[in-house]
Structure formats: C-alpha cells, structure tokens
Amino acid sequence: MHDDELNLLTETLHKTMLSVSGTELDAAMTELGWIEMLTEMPDTAVPLVFRLLGETGAHAPLINDVVLADTALSLPAGGTVALPYSGGRWVRWERSEGPGTTLDTDVPLRVVEAGDTVPLAAGRRALGWWLVGTSRAMLDLARTHALNRMQFGKPVASFQAVRHRLAETLVAIEGAEATLNTATDDLGSLLAKAAAGKAALTTARHCQQVLGGIGFTAEHDLHRHVRRAMLLDGLLGSARELTREAGAIIRTHGCAPRLTQLS
C-alpha cells in the first residue's frame, strides 16, 4: 500500500471511530473491508486499526476476527470466540449489546465457561497496539492539561516533576511500541502484550498525577481510557501474569532468547 493510500485509510478509519462505536463501528468496519484487510495485509491493518481504537476511545469486537483468523478452523467472519482473561476466567466479546452482566459498562465483554484453546499470539499483538493507542490518548490529555494549566503564573508543564512523569510515560509507550514492532512468535507476542499492558498502567498512574483532581471526575475523559486500559490488560493475560509466564518459559528452556530471536 502506497503512503497516500495508507494516509487516506488512516483518515477514514479515524473519522469513522470518532463518529460511531460498538456494534455500529463493527458494522462500519465490515463495510470498509476490515475482513479483507485482515486477510490481505494483516501486518498493516492490525496495528493501524487497533492503535486507532485506543487513540479515539472507540471499541468494537474486532479481536474476535484477529484470533479466529489465526486458527486453522474454518469459521465465518463476524463470529465470536471464548478468550482467556486474568484470574483464570474466560470471556466472550459479544457482537451485540444485549442485557446481562459485563465486565465494563461500555463494552459487551461477558464472563463465560472455559472455551477451546486457540492461538493467542496475533490477538496479544492486536491488544498490545490497542493499549499503546490508549496510552497515547491518556498522554495527550495530560500533556494538554500541563500546557494549559497555570500555577504560580506559569504552565505546570514547566515544573520538573511534571516533566519527569510525562517523559517516563513516553519512554514506557515507545518501549512497548518497539517491542510490538519486533514481535512475531508466541514468546515475542507474549512479551509485547506484557510490555504494552505495563506501559498503559504506568501511563494511567502518571497522567492521573499530572491531571490532579480533574482527572478523577466523570466529566473528564481520562477515566474512560483508564478503565479501557485496565480491561484490555486483563484480556489474554495481564502484564503481571504474562511476565510470570515468560519467566516460566525461560526457566524451562534454561536460557533467555536473544533480542534478535524475538523477531
């Protein structure tokens, strides 16, 4: 895909995600050729789509398509699959927003019985990009607040303590993104998801500190991104669980893989 085509696709997806979410976005993505993009250019489509989901705050059950596309099963597009969640639970990201208890009031993610084992590498990379996008959205909110909020006659962004928190946040996000860019196999995808989850939680903590009291209010957008980050961190394994799993894998093999072997 040429740069001008990619820019046009990015702009179209961004506008769509700002205007609709949930089942409406799911339908809109189908019309935009999401399944074809996932089939023909997954290395471009998945990072782009899931990063934009995070940056815009929209949601759609597209993780089902990514996981199902990575299986050897012949399953129809638009299906759902039971997915492991932190704490030994299993969930299903429904494609309809019907009645019933969900893990989050905005997202139809419901606890279900344990499902069949499915490949998780592609899904973990997709969620990692979603977490990176969510982290960048939180950082943008905190940065804007720091530049506009005045204390002692100058922006709070001029204070070193605030700058340090924003800088540490950016380093965490950039590190997670670099890990995602090199992840291709199971272990690399596991580590990338763990890095993205940890970066998102670090971002939420630092941005909350920068925003201060306004960040705790329902009127501010930060809490939506924080809730989304916590929800996505648990899906397909939390950062803490995946770090322990990676340690167990390394201990079993008796050595840690080189960074070049993770790509």
Tokens 């990009």 correspond to what residue? 129
- pLDDT by residue for the chain (263 residues), tens digit each? 788 899 999 999 999 999 999 999 999 999 999 999 999 999 999 999 999 999 999 999 999 999 999 886 545 567 899 999 999 999 999 998 776 678 888 899 999 998 888 899 999 999 999 999 999 999 999 999 887 777 787 887 778 888 899 999 999 999 999 999 999 899 999 999 999 999 999 999 999 998 888 877 888 888 999 999 999 999 999 999 999 999 998 888 877 666 555 54
CA distance 197 to 47: 15
**236 CB contacts (<8 Å, ≥6 apart)?**
83, 84, 85, 120, 123, 124, 127, 193
Pick the CATH number of 121-262 from 1.10.10.60, 3.10.105.10, 3.30.390.10, 1.20.140.10: 1.20.140.10
pTM of the model: 0.92
Per DSSP, helices labelled H in the chain are 3-19, 23-31, 34-40, 42-56, 63-69, 121-148, 160-182, 186-211, 222-234, 239-253
CA distance 236 to 124: 7
